[in-house]
Amino acid sequence: MSELLLDQILGNRNDPDLAKKLHDLGHHGGHVETLVVSAEDLPRRRFHAQTDHGTPCFIALPRDVSLVDGAVLYLTHHHAIVLKVGAQDWLKLQPLNNGALELGHLAGNLHWRVRFEEDCLLVAVDHPRETYLARLHELEHAGKVKVVA
Q: How many residues does the chain have?
A: 149
Q: Which of the four pLDDT bands, split at 50, 70 and 90, describes residue 47?
A: very high
User: Which residue ranges form the domains of the chain, and what is each CATH number?
Assistant: 4-85 (2.60.260.20), 90-147 (3.30.70)
Q: What pLDDT is stored for residue 22 in this prediction? A: 94
Condensed to tens digits (0 to 9), the pLDDT of residues 99-131 reads: 899 999 999 999 998 999 999 999 988 788 999
Q: Is 91 within 8 Å of 119 (Cβ atoms)?
A: no
- Rounded distance between C-alpha atoms, residue 142 and residue 75, angstroms: 55
Q: Is-above-0.75 flag for pTM?
A: no
Q: What pLDDT is stored for residue 27 in this prediction? A: 83
Provide φ and ψ at 17, rounded to 5°.
-65, -45
- Which residues, 6+ apart, have CB-to-CB distance to 16 below 8 Å? none
Query: Average pLDDT, whole number, for the chain?
Result: 92
Provide φ and ψ at 105, rounded to 5°.
-65, -45
Q: What pLDDT is stored for residue 5 in this prediction? A: 97
